[in-house]
Chain A
Amino acid sequence: MKLPILGAAALAAVMIVAAGPLTAQSPPQDDSEKEIERYRQMLSDPFSNPGFLAVDRGEALWAEKRGAKNVSLEGCDLGEGPGKLEGAFAKLPRYFADADKVMDTEQRLLWCMDKLQGLDTKDVVLRRFSGPARASDMEDLVAFIANKSSEMKIQPQLSHPKEKEMAAVGEALFYTRGGVNDFSCATCHAEEGKRIRLQGLPNLSVKGKTAQETMGSWPTYRVSQSALRTMQHRLWDCYRQQRWPVPEYGSEALTALTVFLQKQAEGGEIKVPSIKR
């Protein structure tokens, strides 16, 4: 999709306003928050959301022949059958019998790259989060795949015993405190209407609208970071703010938390990629 000139100019303006340091403890001032809201409304036109550029790049990557086996990802089974993309993201994470594991979108993609394409994923994992002059295959692929579930409802998969375990462990992890500040997810996300400095904190401890709107809006284009970000990145950033160690990309605790959050968000409408501060 193309980025109209007007959209690009508006975005450049937002980026200047929003380009604070990435530490969440030094948030933008009230005024810039309002400015961003204004631009966000302007940008509700999907054609000017740069997240859709990631969708396009992801589509190309999905079809590209790569790896020792020189095949595309089109044979990858994301849970709905090989190559079936419609609605697959809405049901992820889920249990995959071939791997005997509950996997989120990113874990499953890495599995397909390895098993199907014979691709050495080291470099892909190294570029898991994009940066200036560093594209991320994972972000682009997730944008593409998630977009194929846009306007569908979040359908947490909780029938397999391992899916049930994931949800239960994810819930326990949500309340597990630690790090030098004794923080858990619940410290920041378990009460209505709270904020840290000026940043509003969604209450994810209860099922319903807040959880639905939150989970239904990832992956998202983060204006402050000029990048499309996935739930893996959001959790990485929250564990950073929680003063925990660096979480391993695509690992069990992150997937467990995602299963739990999807459960909280059950029935929410997916509208992705969205655009956020």
Chain B
Amino acid sequence: MIRTFIPLAALLLAAGTATAQERPAQAVIDAYIKSTFGKASAEWQARIKPDDSLAVCNTTRNNPSSAESDAMLKRESARVVYPADGKFLGDWKKGYQVANNGRGGQFSDPPGTVAGGNCFACHQLDPKEVSYGTLGPSLAAYGKDRKYDPETIKDTYTKIYNSMAVVPCSNMPRFGVNKVLDEQQIKDVMAYLFDPESPVNK
């Protein structure tokens, strides 16, 4: 992936947060990153190389300008791959497994670990489940509240596949783009949100 060069003007603009001090040059930051992560394999190195969108999120602390936001929405929307069969909903029971599984992507995970979506880490889903995080909004009754509307279903697929195609610099992982979840897993977790039988909608 190509590293974006950020002109000084952009750096100054980025210092929007009250106490933020001026961001050192990217080359300086990169030297520190190399000292700490330089021994990791090429595959791991690639994972921490920001793509064009993430580079903007990093320098602006998730507050891209409106021009940057427009560019990001366009770029990220183009990366969404919709199911060839046009079906967005799989099996909600398997979707629960995906939502509940927080494994995958950690250096402590054994090779071949099936990654989950870890949705419960950040969202309330099944209102009966007490162990849920609050970094994201509650998704309880998500499908029911949206009357299982087909347009909304497609938009939510987009959201899960690539959160930044909907919200620039979203704090939610880009599950499809970063290949954390495959198409079937996304369909299953979609069903967990949109199947009327799913505990999410009970």
Which are the 3 A-B pairs with shortest beta-carbon distances? Answer: A25-B102, A245-B40, A253-B36
20 A-B pairs (CB sep. < 8 Å): A26-B102, A29-B130, A167-B21, A172-B23, A172-B24, A175-B61, A176-B58, A178-B49, A178-B54, A180-B180, A181-B180, A193-B134, A196-B133, A197-B133, A240-B106, A243-B105, A244-B37, A248-B39, A253-B35, A256-B32
Q: How far is the CB of A24 from chain B (nearest CB, A)?
A: 8
- Closest-by-CB residue of B relative to A30 is B130
The stretch among B85-93, B118-126, B141-149 that forms the contact with chain A is: B118-126
Q: How far is the CB of B133 from chain A (nearest CB, A)?
A: 4
With known contacts A169-B28, A195-B134, A197-B121, A180–B179 Cβ distance under 8 A: yes
Within 8 A of A (CB), among B5-58: 19-24, 28-29, 31-33, 35-41, 44-45, 47-50, 54, 57-58
Within 8 A of A (CB), among B101-143: 102-108, 115, 118, 120-122, 130-135
Decide if the interface of chain B is mainly helix, strand, loop or mixed.
Answer: loop
Contact between chains at A27 and B50 (CB < 8 Å): no
Within 8 A of B (CB), among A160-179: 165, 167-169, 171-173, 175-179
Contact between chains at A27 and B131 (CB < 8 Å): yes
**Interface assignment of B187: CB less than 8 Å from any CB of chain A:** no
**Interface assignment of A251: CB less than 8 Å from any CB of chain B:** yes
- Name 9 extra pairs, CB < 8 A, besides A180-B47, A182-B57: A25-B103, A173-B29, A177-B54, A178-B54, A197-B102, A198-B131, A207-B19, A245-B48, A253-B35
Across chains A and B, the number of contacting residue pairs, with CB separation under 8 Å, is 145
Within 8 A of A (CB), among B157-186: 171, 173-174, 178-180
Contact between chains at A245 and B37 (CB < 8 Å): yes
- Give the interface of B toward A (CB within 8 A): 19-24, 28-29, 31-33, 35-41, 44-45, 47-50, 54, 57-58, 61-62, 102-108, 115, 118, 120-122, 130-135, 171, 173-174, 178-180
Contacts of B40 in A (CB 8 A): 245-246
A171–B22 alpha-carbon span in the complex (Å): 10
Contact between chains at B134 and A194 (CB < 8 Å): yes
A154–B45 alpha-carbon span in the complex (Å): 35
**Interface assignment of A138: CB less than 8 Å from any CB of chain B:** no
**Interface assignment of A202: CB less than 8 Å from any CB of chain B:** no
Contact between chains at A168 and B24 (CB < 8 Å): yes
Which of B23, B48, B122 has the largest number of chain A CB atoms within 10 A? B48
- Closest-by-CB residue of B relative to A168 is B24
- Closest-by-CB residue of A relative to B26 is A172
**Interface assignment of A186: CB less than 8 Å from any CB of chain B:** yes
- Binary CB contact string for chain A from 75 to 110 against chain B (1 if under 8 A, 0 otherwise): 000000000000000000000000000000000000
**Interface assignment of A252: CB less than 8 Å from any CB of chain B:** yes
Which of B38, B108, B133, B173 has the largest number of chain A CB atoms within 10 A? B133
A243–B19 alpha-carbon span in the complex (Å): 28
Contact between chains at B35 and A252 (CB < 8 Å): yes
- Closest-by-CB residue of A relative to B61 is A175
Q: Which of A169, A191, A197, A256 contacts B131 (CB 8 A)?
A: A197
Chain A interfacial residues counted at CB < 8 A: 50
With known contacts A26-B102, A252-B32, A181–B24 Cβ distance under 8 A: no
- Binary CB contact string for chain A from 44 to 86 against chain B (1 if under 8 A, 0 otherwise): 0000000000000000000000000000000000000000000
Within 8 A of B (CB), among A122-180: 165, 167-169, 171-173, 175-180
Contacts of A261 in B (CB 8 A): none
**Interface assignment of A121: CB less than 8 Å from any CB of chain B:** no
Contacts of A251 in B (CB 8 A): 35-36
Q: How far is the CB of A80 from chain B (nearest CB, A)?
A: 26
Contact between chains at A243 and B131 (CB < 8 Å): no
Q: Which of A30, A177, A196, A253 contacts B32 (CB 8 A)?
A: A253
- Closest-by-CB residue of B relative to A183 is B173
Contact between chains at B35 and A246 (CB < 8 Å): no
Contacts of B102 in A (CB 8 A): 23, 25-26, 197
Q: How far is the CB of B37 from chain A (nearest CB, A)?
A: 5
